Amino acid sequence: MIRRILVALVAFAGIVWLMNTSLFSRFPEGSGPQVIAHRGQHQVFDRTGLDNDTCTATRIGQPSHPYLENTLASMQAAFSAGATVVELDVHLTPDGNFAVFHDWTLDCRTNLAGVTENTPYAELARADIGYGYTADGGRTFPFRGKGIGLMPELDQVFEAFPDKRFLVNFKSERVEEGTELATRLARDPRALATVFGVYGGDRPTEATLALLPALRGYTRTSVKDCLVSYLAIGWSGHVPASCRNRLLPVPVNYAPLLWGWPVRFVERMQAAGTDVILLGPYRSGDPGPAGIDSLEDWKAVPENFTGLVWTNRIETAREWAEAAGIGPIR
């Protein structure tokens, strides 16, 4: 009896392995990833000891290009460098506009002070968004005076790039942000066509997706629900309902734990209407997603990967993807 049980267990383990191994499958030859440019092409910064309140403008590296995050110029540069999607951040202001700006407050990056979402866009539109950047501890400010009037409103982005794609990040938990965005997109099909997806605060994200069922997105809650369910039953090849018709970010250092990674996992998700977004390595305490931001990170991306890759270094993505043998950026 014990021998039969052992044989049955070994046979079952063999079947599960065969169903989930990518040893005998490959992504199509010559395929390659699509790339999401986080914040467009922007000034990168040291992530050591980063938390939610860290002023990242005061820890940038020596500038190698003139672009500031979330500006029209930075978005154009990102698309020119090969981005399929540009991620941007929005705040619904008291005068009913969506300011495209990352920070919750204005004190770090601009010449203004206060909470971004509490400031009328008429004031934000005149701000110097390059005011606070420094690479040498405050001795010099290379972008001061060069960012005046560069904070766009979301409609300006849609008008400037009618044939591009954007991932919209809600910076708050206000339901009205989601309902207002959904209302705008519902009455403007051209703008809706430019929105690749939404994410961020659970409440506005869920409100947008409820009003626009064809749109996809994710929240921390939806990602956790999907991955926990998939880890429990994904060995069978079944994709749970919590993983269907959405966007699914996966840290590159945790991806190998997923059943069928990489080829079968990505194929299963794509068949279920879900796009896989490969993030940089996740480390406990990180306040936000890291990107595939170095040559070493790119070497961890599967060859000919057909999902999306999230990066803060879009200007080097083509070079590093080629050097890592990943395949062409699509």
Q: For 8-37, what is the HEC assignment? A: HHHHHHHHHHHHHCCCCCCCCCCCCCEEEE
Query: What percent of the chain clears pLDDT 90, i.e. is strictly above it?
Result: 85
Summarised one tens digit per residue, pLDDT across range 289-310 is 689 999 999 999 999 999 999 9
**Section 39-49 average pLDDT:** 93
**Section 318-327 average pLDDT:** 94
Higher pLDDT, residue 330 or 176: 176
Summarised one tens digit per residue, pLDDT across range 230-243 is 999 999 999 999 99
The answer to whether residue 38 scores a pLDDT higher than 90 is yes
**Residue 174: pLDDT band with limits 50, 70, 90:** very high
**Residue 16: pLDDT band with limits 50, 70, 90:** low
What distance in Å separates the CA atoms of residue 238 and residue 227, rounded to the nearest whole number? 13
Higher pLDDT, residue 133 or 289: 133
The answer to whether residue 2 scores a pLDDT higher than 90 is no
Contact criterion met (CB below 8 Å) for 104 and 116: yes
247 forms bridges with which residues in the sheet? 275
pLDDT at 218: 98
Higher pLDDT, residue 330 or 300: 300
Phi, psi of 9 (to 5 degrees): -65, -40
**Section 42-50 average pLDDT:** 90
The answer to whether residue 20 scores a pLDDT higher than 90 is no
Nearest to 261, CA basis, from 25, 20, 16, 28: 20
The answer to whether residue 228 scores a pLDDT higher than 70 is yes
pLDDT at 22: 78
311 forms bridges with which residues in the sheet? 37
The answer to whether residue 152 scores a pLDDT higher than 80 is yes
Residue 14 contacts by C-beta under 8 Å, 6 or more apart in sequence? none
**Section 46-58 average pLDDT:** 88
Contact criterion met (CB below 8 Å) for 296 and 21: no
What distance in Å separates the CA atoms of residue 85 and residue 315, rounded to the nearest whole number? 14
- Residue 63's Cβ-count burial label (10 Å; 0-12, 13-18, 19+) is middle
Contact criterion met (CB below 8 Å) for 238 and 268: no
Nearest to 200, CA basis, from 217, 176, 183: 217
**Section 207-225 average pLDDT:** 97
Phi, psi of 140 (to 5 degrees): -135, 155
pTM: 0.95
Average pLDDT value over all residues in the chain: 94
- Residue 298's Cβ-count burial label (10 Å; 0-12, 13-18, 19+) is buried
Nearest to 101, CA basis, from 117, 112, 85, 86: 117
Summarised one tens digit per residue, pLDDT across range 66-123 is 999 999 999 999 999 999 999 999 999 999 999 999 999 999 999 999 999 999 999 9
**Residue 283: pLDDT band with limits 50, 70, 90:** confident
CA angle 9, 14, 20 (to 5 degrees): 125
Residue 167 contacts by C-beta under 8 Å, 6 or more apart in sequence? 36, 85, 86, 87, 88, 195, 196, 197, 198, 199, 247
The answer to whether residue 213 scores a pLDDT higher than 90 is yes
Q: Indicate if the alpha-carbon torsion angle 44, 50, 56, 58 is positive or negative.
A: negative
The answer to whether residue 7 scores a pLDDT higher than 60 is no
Query: What percent of the chain clears pLDDT 70, i.e. is strictly above it?
Result: 95
DSSP per position, 30-64:
T---EEEEETSS---B--TT--TT--GGGGBPPPS
CA distances to 103, 177, 217 from 211, rounded to whole Å, are 27, 12, 13
**Section 126-153 average pLDDT:** 98
